[in-house]
Structure 1
Amino acid sequence: MPIVNRIADYAGEMKTWRRHLHRHPELSLDCHETAAFVVGKLREFGISDIHEGIAQSGVVAVIEGQGDGPVTGLRADMDALPMEEETGADYASEVPGRMHACGHDGHTTMLLGAAKYLAETRKFAGKVVLIFQPAEETIGGGRIMVEEGIMERFGVEEVYALHTDPSRPLGEIATRTGPLMAAVDDFELHLTGRGGHAAHPDTCIDPIPCALAIGQALQTVPARNTDPLESLVVSLTVVQTGSATNVIPETAYLAGTVRSFDPGIRDMAEKRIREIVAGQAMAYGVTAELDYQRNYPPTINHAKQTEFAVSVARGIVPEVEDESVPSMGAEDFSYMLEARPGAFLYMGQGEGPFCHHPKFDFNDEAAPIGASFFARLIETRHPLKG
């Protein structure tokens, strides 16, 4: 693999950075220590145009090239997940109940590696805007940063991101034009009946039959209301009710997620779920309170920028897949792609436990590859004049 030689020289440093971040995971918007570490490194690299506190703990830094030219954004996410680590690594999380189980420690490290190289060499025109965002796993730090105006404030014209993939060989890069990841919506449903003694059901309004009926009916939305050639997932993931065999409960709680690509299908799914809940509640005589939240939009890569990113990747790694199968997972980089043209790519780190697994760990050998991709993307898109 033609990793940039200078970046290859940073491999040991990058491993140290990544493992430090891995030991100190932070959640959601509260990535202040991670952000401080990032800012400290950027300053070491000689970068002075640094902006902190965006989306509470997000960081944006600008590297000036030589002369006028394009302005390109490169993004990395910084937050971890609320789960116990089971890797057994000597650099495992030092914070109980938190771990970097999705490679964000590696993403941050790759962008830092590219930043060090670009700040040192400046072999490009225009500007590079480095975006280190919190809360990808929760409330959408990417959305908040866009809403706080980073694209306009820093003049970003195009934006790119990499995500590690433990299902692919080390260094393989994969992406596609168009929808790459799904929109995600979540729902919570509270059913209220009338509780009482299980020996006297006639004196009660039991929410359990209604909950069961709703759970079954939800599966008709993808199975009977959606074109079989289209993609829709409706997953009921939480059902909570009851406390004893001789008690009919007063309430039941259900929750789940909806994944889609097409806006029309997304609208239809919400409409049908609302209709099912209302109809079943009426049929069973219970009160239903449905909270339906539209969250991340689909991650849709732009054609021109995806083609360009693929061409850059082909110069870095031997295997590039440009027609990757879309995933029903979701990504808040979608908000940045709604705001500016760009592309999101997966990069293989070698096969192992998948993201969000307690034994997942980022492969440090992947970091110089990702940093090289970012660096070459900038040097290719921002050629020096003359």
Structure 2
Amino acid sequence: MPVKNRFAELLPEITEWRRDIHENPEILYDTHRTSALVAEKLKAFGCDEIVTGIGRTGVVGVIKGKSDGSGKVIGLRADMDALPILEATGLPYASKTRGAMHACGHDGHTAMLLGAAKYLSETRNFDGTVVVIFQPAEEGGGGGKEMCDDGMMERFGIQEVYGMHNWPGRPVGSFAIRPGSFFAAADQFDIHVTGKGGHAAKPHETLDTTVIASQIVIALQTIASRNVDPVKQVVVSVTSFETGSKAHNVIPETVHLKGTVRTLDGEVQDLTEARMREIVDLTARAYGGRAEIDYRRGYPVMVNSEEQTAFAAEVASAVSGDCADAPLVMGGEDFAFMLEERPGAYILVGNGDTAMVHHPEYNFNDEAIPAGCSWWAEIVERRMPAA
């Protein structure tokens, strides 16, 4: 396939971009260096329009085809931000910023979309307009929502939008996708338990918040096992248990719990939140204490559109020879906000036998670059064929 051959030629250059971004990770919206690099590359490629500062530090490039008789406008999105993780890869191009690392492959996503933008700017072999979207703050910051709230879809007339994520454990350059609900809604909660502290040798004189909080943790697990339909998915994870004391002989006055809830269905999300509020309040009261929950809705369920998913799978099969059925993923993905605004699809590209994402030894596999770039380019050329 000519596209794949071209990206094989560009691989050393795109790899160099990727490793430079990896070496200089930036977290959330502080992607100033990365955003500047992206804008500089898009300008060098000859993009027709480049806009910075969308969604605070997002970058958008516009590439017009040889003709525009179709009137179609397709958005292609990559994320740019890193994670607050101490890198442990030992690579020559490892992070130079202590405590920040591209542990999710956003460096690879950005580099692949830049590669696709270079190719599309060179060839213009399509009838319509491509909008390349480089987003900050995917890792918990809601950068996709910020870009949408800035009017990106309307401003650039985007009609469909496509995204991609690397996936460790899948063969390098292979693809997987599914229609409908794909990635989970990701909510967060904080629970504050209050009782009566005192000496550990006299528990009868206290209202033991450690016991109360422990009962709450256990009771929350009954939401999945006894409240939600067994064929539906929900994860309630308490990830932190902090007491108001560090002494061995003190029963603490307060306990702070925090964690996350993952669901793939709006009704299950509503049920889970309601049951959590009841369990937290009533369990604490049953033991004579008090507890309050701060429950915050985060990223919504990411839902792939049926038609665009079928098309994306067809393109993936053309690029790599096959496209597998992807499993449901209980992780969150803020591309969900863009898919709420416009129909589109999100696909997984294989990263090979590597450490999992969000692991200090993870590294994006540069061998996946030609397949990823080719998929984006083929999305454009097949969806908007040149007249």
Interval of TM-score (by shorter of Structure 1 and Structure 2): over 0.9
Match of 1:250 in 2: 253
Q: In the aligned structure 1, how far is the partner of 2:221 from the partner of 2:2?
A: 48
- 8 Å contact kept, 2:55–2:148: no
Say whether 1:115 aligns with 2:142.
Answer: no
Long gaps (5+) in structure 1: none
Cα-to-partner distance string for 1:336-371 (whole Å, 9 max, x where unaligned): 111100000000021110101111000111112111
Deviation of 1:305 (Å) = 0.2
Which of 282, 286, 289 is 2:292 aligned to?
Answer: 289
Percent sequence identity over matched residues? 52
1:276 aligned residue? 279
Q: CA deviation at 1:48?
A: 4.2
Shift of 1:374: 0.4
1:21 matched to 2:8: no
Q: For the residues of structure 2 that align with 1:349 and 1:54, how far apart are their CA atoms? A: 30
Maintained 8 Å contact 2:177/2:348:
yes
The question of 1:374 aligning with 2:339 is answered: no
Task: Give 1:292 shift.
Answer: 0.3
Letter in 1 for 2:319: I
Instruction: State the Cα deviation string for residues 304-344 of structure 1 (Å, max 9, x = none).
Output: 000011111111102311x2211111100011111100000
Q: CA deviation at 1:2?
A: 6.8
Superposition deviation, residue 261 in structure 1: 0.7
Q: Taking structure 1 as the reference length, what is the TM-score of the superposition?
A: 0.97
Supply the AA of the counterpart residue of 1:380. R
| Alpha-carbon spacing, 1:16–1:315, altered in 2? closer, same or farther (3 Å) | same
- Partners of 1:20 and 1:36 lie apart in 2 by 13
Amino acid at match of 1:361: N
Is 2:211 the partner of 1:209? yes
CA gap of 1:178–1:2, structure 2 versus 1, over 3 A, is farther
Q: When the two structures are superposed, what TM-score results if normalisation uses the length of structure 2? A: 0.97
CA-to-partner distance for each residue in 1:56-88, whole Å, 9 max, x for gaps? 111011111122231000000000000111111
Give the conservation status (yes or no) of the 8 Å contact 1:185–1:296: yes
Partner of 1:31: 31
In structure 2, distance between residues paired with 1:263 and 1:47: 40
Contact 1:235–1:258 under 8 Å retained in 2: yes
Alignment of 1:217-232 (within 5 A): 217-232=219-234
CA drift of 1:107 comes to: 0.1
Match of 1:50 in 2: 50
Shift of 1:3: 4.9
When structure 1 is superposed on structure 2, of 165-174 and 280-289 the one drifting more is: 280-289
Displacement of 1:147 after TM fit? 1.3
Among residues 60, 85, 105, which one is paired with 1:83 in the alignment?
A: 85
Q: Give the distance between the partners of 1:31 and 1:48, measured in 2 at CA.
A: 23
Q: Is the 8 A contact 1:85 1:98 kept in 2?
A: yes
Correspondent of 1:316 among 310, 316, 319: 319
Q: Structure 1: how far apart are the matches of 2:10 and 2:118?
A: 9
Give 1:1-386 correspondences, 5 Å limit.
3-68=3-68, 69=70, 70-241=72-243, 242-321=245-324, 323-385=325-387
Whole-angstrom CA distance in 1 between matches of 2:319 and 2:28: 32
DSSP 3-state at the match of 2:133? strand
2:79/2:109 contact within 8 Å kept: yes
Q: Distance in 1 between matches of 2:42 and 2:122?
A: 11
